[in-house]
C-alpha cells in the first residue's frame, strides 16, 4: 500500500487588513462623517435638492459606510462577499446617477465625471478578479477605486461651491 503524500497548500494571501486598508478606512470614515454633517447642516435647503441628487448621495453614503467594514474585517468569507456585492451595486449606482448630474455652463460633464466612467469600468473588474480568486489584482483594484472614485471624488465635493461644501462650510 502506498502512503499518500500531502502536498503543501499554496500560501494564501493574507486576509488580515494591511496598513493601507486602515488608512483608506479612516479616510472613508472621515468622508462619511463630513458628508452626514453637511447634509444635516443643510436641512433648510433639502426641499430644493432634486431627487437625483438625493439618490446619488444615498448610494455613495452606502458605499462609503461599507468601505471600512469591507476593508477591516476578515476577507474571503460569505459576509465579505455579501458586503462586497452591496458595495459594488452602490458604486455602480453612484456612477450611473452622476452621469445625469450636469454642471451649469458650457459642456455637459465636468472633470469629475471621468471618475464616473472609470468606476463603470473598474467595478466590474473588481467583481471579476474576486470571482476568479485573483486576490492581488482584486486588492489593487479595490484600493484604487477607494482612493480615486470614493475618497478623491468625495473630498472634491466640498470645495468649489458644490452642494456639500456649501452646506458644511456656508
Domain boundaries of the chain, sorted by first residue: 19-169
Higher pLDDT: 135 or 16? It is: 135
pLDDT at 1 over 70: no
Per-residue pLDDT tens digits for 35-94: 999 999 999 999 999 999 999 999 999 999 999 999 999 888 999 999 999 999 999 999
Q: How many helices (H) and strands (E) does the chain have?
A: 7, 0
Output the pLDDT for position 161: 81
Q: Which three cell numbers stand for residue 124?
A: 466590474
Amino acid at each position: 500500500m502506498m502512503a499518500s503524500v500531502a502536498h503543501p497548500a499554496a500560501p494564501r494571501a493574507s486576509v488580515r487588513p494591511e496598513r493601507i486598508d486602515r488608512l483608506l478606512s479612516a479616510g472613508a470614515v472621515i468622508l462619511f462623517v463630513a458628508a452626514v454633517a453637511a447634509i444635516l447642516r443643510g436641512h433648510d435647503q433639502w426641499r430644493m435638492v432634486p431627487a437625483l441628487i438625493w439618490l446619488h448621495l444615498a448610494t455613495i453614503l452606502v458605499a462609503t459606510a461599507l468601505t471600512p467594514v469591507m476593508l477591516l474585517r476578515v476577507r474571503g468569507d460569505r459576509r465579505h462577499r455579501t458586503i462586497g456585492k452591496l458595495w459594488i451595486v452602490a458604486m455602480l449606482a453612484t456612477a450611473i446617477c452622476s452621469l445625469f448630474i450636469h454642471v451649469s455652463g458650457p459642456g455637459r460633464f465636468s472633470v469629475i465625471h471621468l471618475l464616473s466612467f472609470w468606476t463603470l469600468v473598474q467595478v466590474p473588474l473588481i467583481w471579476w478578479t474576486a470571482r476568479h480568486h485573483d486576490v492581488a489584482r482584486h486588492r489593487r483594484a479595490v484600493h484604487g477605486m477607494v482612493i480615486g472614485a470614493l475618497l478623491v471624488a468625495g473630498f472634491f465635493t466640498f470645495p468649489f461651491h458644490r452642494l456639500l461644501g456649501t452646506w458644511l462650510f456656508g
